């Protein structure tokens, strides 16, 4: 059996509009799913306002603790786009107008016959020493420094940046998962399911209640990093449901 590496990550979503409810976040769920597919364990998510002190504190807490931190939002050209400043401060380096980004943006605006305003130049700012994350949608790059990946908040741009970043990450052992649908609610299966979990300590068995407006059913998701371990736990879950079924039809 090969050595199984655990790689951990956190997401830091930045923006007053997420906290006011005005914008419903689409980036967290998207990246969460892709990280799982990549074998990277997303361990924590935070959403903070456009406030330098808050961003710095959250970023420093998360980057010290997890292998990777992905941020979304606050890298546009307006006064409330302060992510580049905050990340620079967190790393203790100056926030500079990065040369290559200035060149890219200047060329793009020239092609489009648009003025490269002071506001647009803000999008070339990043911590000294950061590397670009390409933006095929609207040119203005994201950036990476240390174990932090800074990406746009607009979902189309965020997703394009994620696609560029993911193949460059070290990936963990992929978590395998299998879903078993239970026609019974959690109240029926909770006890026996706890026993199944105890018998299979190397798995993580999640139980997700569904409510159709009248009845609860449950989707059981068995996860493991090893196929044999997974199959054994899955079989045990299926057997548990059959046992409950038999008990219900027998008087």
The verdict on 6 binding a copy of itself (CB under 8 A) reads: no
The verdict on 24 binding a copy of itself (CB under 8 A) reads: yes
Part in contact with a copy of itself (CB under 8 A); list of ranges 26-34, 83-91, 126-134, 234-242: 26-34
**Do 88 and 94 contact (CB within 8 A), yes or no?**
yes
**Do 153 and 27 contact (CB within 8 A), yes or no?**
yes
Q: Which of 33, 110, 128, 242 binds a copy of itself (CB under 8 A)?
A: 33
Within 142-181, the residues that bind a copy of itself by CB under 8 A are 154, 156-157, 175
- Closest approach, Cβ 194 to a copy of itself, in A, equals 4
- The residue among 97 and 131 lying less far from a copy of itself, judged by its C-beta, is 97
* Tokens describing residue 122: 């803000």
With CB under 8 A, what is the number of residues at the site for a copy of itself?
Answer: 71
Part in contact with a copy of itself (CB under 8 A); list of ranges 47-55, 128-136, 166-174, 228-236: 47-55
The verdict on 30 binding a copy of itself (CB under 8 A) reads: yes
The verdict on 136 binding a copy of itself (CB under 8 A) reads: no
- Establish how many alpha carbons lie within 13 A of residue 34's alpha carbon, considering only the half-sphere containing its beta carbon: 19
Nearby residues of 189 by Cβ (< 8 Å), 6 or more positions away: 182, 207, 218, 220, 240, 241, 244
- The residue among 145 and 220 lying less far from a copy of itself, judged by its C-beta, is 220
DSSP state of 43: E
Part in contact with a copy of itself (CB under 8 A); list of ranges 77-85, 90-98, 160-168, 229-237: 77-85
Residue 189 Cα distances to 15, 77, 110, 239, angstroms: 41, 53, 64, 12
Distance CA 59, CA 246 (A): 52
- Closest approach, Cβ 112 to a copy of itself, in A, equals 10
- The residue among 144 and 218 lying less far from a copy of itself, judged by its C-beta, is 218
- Establish how many alpha carbons lie within 13 A of residue 243's alpha carbon, considering only the half-sphere containing its beta carbon: 12
Q: How far from chain centre, in Å, is Cα 83?
A: 18
């Amino acid at each position: 059996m090969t050595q199984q590496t655990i790689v951990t990550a956190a997401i830091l979503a930045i923006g007053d509009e997420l906290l006011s409810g005005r914008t419903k976040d689409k980036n967290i769920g998207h990246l969460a799913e892709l990280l799982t597919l990549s074998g990277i364990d997303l361990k924590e998510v935070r959403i903070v306002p456009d406030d330098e002190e808050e961003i710095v504190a959250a970023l420093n807490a998360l980057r010290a603790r997890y292998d990777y931190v992905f941020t979304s939002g606050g890298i546009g050209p307006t006064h409330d786009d302060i992510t580049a400043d905050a990340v620079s401060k967190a790393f203790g380096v100056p926030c500079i107008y990065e040369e290559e980004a200035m060149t890219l943006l200047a060329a793009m605006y020239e092609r489009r016959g648009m003025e490269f305003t002071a506001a647009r130049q803000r999008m070339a700012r990043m911590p000294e020493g950061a590397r670009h994350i390409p933006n095929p949608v609207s040119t203005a790059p994201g950036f990476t420094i240390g174990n932090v990946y800074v990406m746009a908040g607009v979902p189309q741009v965020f997703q394009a940046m994620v696609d560029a970043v993911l193949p460059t990450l070290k990936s963990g052992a992929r978590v395998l998962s299998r879903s078993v649908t239970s026609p019974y609610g959690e109240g029926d299966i909770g006890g026996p399911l706890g026993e199944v979990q105890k018998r299979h300590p190397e798995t993580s068995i999640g139980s997700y209640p569904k409510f159709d407006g009248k009845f609860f059913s449950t989707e059981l998701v068995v996860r493991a990093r090893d196929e044999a371990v997974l199959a054994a736990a899955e079989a045990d879950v299926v057997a548990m449901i059959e046992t409950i079924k038999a008990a219900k039809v027998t008087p």
